[in-house]
Structure 1
Amino acid sequence: MSDITVLVLDDHEVVRRGICDILERADGIAVVAEASTVAQAVRRAEAVRPQVILSDLRLPDGTGLDVIHHVRAKLPDTHIVVLTSYDDDEAKAAARNAGADLFLAKTAGSAEVLQAVRDAASGREHGQHIAVHEDDVVARLTPMERRVLDLVGAGLSNREIAEKLGIAEKTVKNHVTSVLAKMGLQRRTQVVAWATARRAQSFRG
């Protein structure tokens, strides 16, 4: 069986690379292109004809709706998973009406990301909203793990976190391992991507 081919579209490089990292480590999935704008996505999608596009809704030169409309007209066999970092039912309804297959929160864990891609590629559950909301993710963590999460997301090293919190570096490492496990992530770069999406959500309101 051939790999599921995916194009990842997001204007935040750290978020985009975090998603790609999750996909590239999975069996049976291949990231064949990345894009940060509507123009790039349209051009590269036509070139590589991916089975699935993971698309942000808000982009520098337009919206994910522009991509969806183009793909539906030119690449009818390509499925689209819309990435969301905020609750906007009107935007989601518009995306669904335009032809989006699934919705996925940027704060979702790696398992949800992979499942969304596989579901979209197989055509299962058209229109399903797959999302792990920020509050649900954070609620899994202890108070100390939340502090460690914030500091990892800010780009601090284990040593810097240990100094800031007044705890042993080994203890920080244990907390980071626990945070990754609870969030369904594998690398701290993915935590940074999660934190970036969280800040973007707060900024956009």
Structure 2
Amino acid sequence: MASDDDIRVMIIDDHEVVRRGIAEVVDRMDGLIVVAEAGSVQEAIRRGELVHPDVALVDLRLPDGTGIDIIRRLTEAVPDTKCIVLTSFDDDEALAEAQAAGAKAYLLKSVRGAEITENIKAVASGRVLLDERTVSRRRADHADPTADLTPSERRVLELIGDGLSNREIGDRLGVAEKTVKNHITSLLSKMGLQRRTQVAAWVAGQRAAGWRHGS
């Protein structure tokens, strides 16, 4: 039975099965109650402003935007709501962006249910489990993701960062567009990324930090 002292939780994920599974884990824990669910950025903002949850579990990938959009909007509109990223996306840039947006913790969906509920309680009590030292330490622990790229793959990487399309990259390098696609598939796998846009974002972040090819 719900109590006025229960920590009110909103779950945001575009996969209904995942949402329901997380909701069951949360609702089973004494002192926690799920007050809203959402499957998109707009739905999350609307429901968050309506129910004012204590804690929001936010996935990063959503059909109309990202979890970062939600964290920023909720931080402005419902400042008492504390956000925890819960995602399958293990990426240092996403971690840093979540921290900058105001997330209080960053969890992978592979964690145990008990860890989710423990983090909810900790964050609701005012603790911040994600800070600059955590981000810096994670970055230091990760080797250069481009270390295994071939010279051709490194060149494709740079040109993606320059904003060129696959066809334009092929023209620049004098190879077929299919060859470019093969290079991209290979470099995505080696770098642990899933989409071309992630490559562009990674290059942009590295350039902002002073990275150069061959450095």
Q: 2:18 aligns with which of 6, 15, 19?
A: 15
**What's the CA shift string for 1:79-136, capped at 9, x where partnerless?**
000012022110110110010000111111111011011011011134167xxxxxxx
Per the TM alignment, residue 68 of structure 1 is displaced from its structure 2 partner at its CA by 0.7
1:165 alignment partner in structure 2: none
1:79-90 pair list within 5 angstroms? 79-90=82-93
> For residue 110 of structure 2, what is the amino acid of its counterpart?
T
Q: In the alignment, residue 96 of structure 2 is paired with which amino acid?
A: A
Measured on the aligned residues, the alpha-carbon RMSD in Å equals 1.8
Matched residue SS, 1:103: strand
Q: Which has the larger radius of gyration?
A: 2
Q: Which has the higher contact order (CA 8 A, sep 6+)?
A: 1
Distance (Å, rounded) in 2 between the aligned partners of 1:16 and 1:58:
13
Alignment partners' CA distance in 1, 2:12 and 2:57:
6
AA partner of residue 30 (structure 2): D
Q: Does 1:4 align with 2:7?
A: yes
Structure 2 distance, partners of 1:104, 1:52, is 14
Residues 127-138 of structure 1 aligned to structure 2 (within 5 Å): 127=130
After the TM superposition, which residues 138-149 of structure 1 pair with which residues of structure 2 at under 5 Å, given as runs?
none
Partner of 1:73: 76
1:27 aligns with 2:33: no
1:42 to 38, 42, 45: 45
Structure 1 gap segments, 5+ residues each: 130-201
Quick one: distance in 1 between partners of 2:95 and 2:16?
Answer: 23
Aligned residue type for 1:121: A
Partner amino acid, structure 1, of 2:123: A
Q: Deviations over 1:150-203 (max 9, x none)?
A: xxxxxxxxxxxxxxxxxxxxxxxxxxxxxxxxxxxxxxxxxxxxxxxxxxxx99
Of residues 56, 59, 62 in structure 2, which corresponds to 1:59? 62
Unaligned runs of 5+ in 2: 135-191, 196-215
Structure 1 length normalisation: TM-score? Answer: 0.61
> Which amino acid is the alignment partner of residue 30 of structure 1?
I
Tell me, what secondary structure is at the counterpart of 2:33?
strand
Tell me the TM-score normalized by structure 2: 0.59
Whether 1:95 and 2:101 are equivalent positions in the alignment is no
> How many residues of Structure 1 are paired with residues of Structure 2 in the alignment?
133
Aligned to 1:110: 113
Match of 1:124 in 2: 127
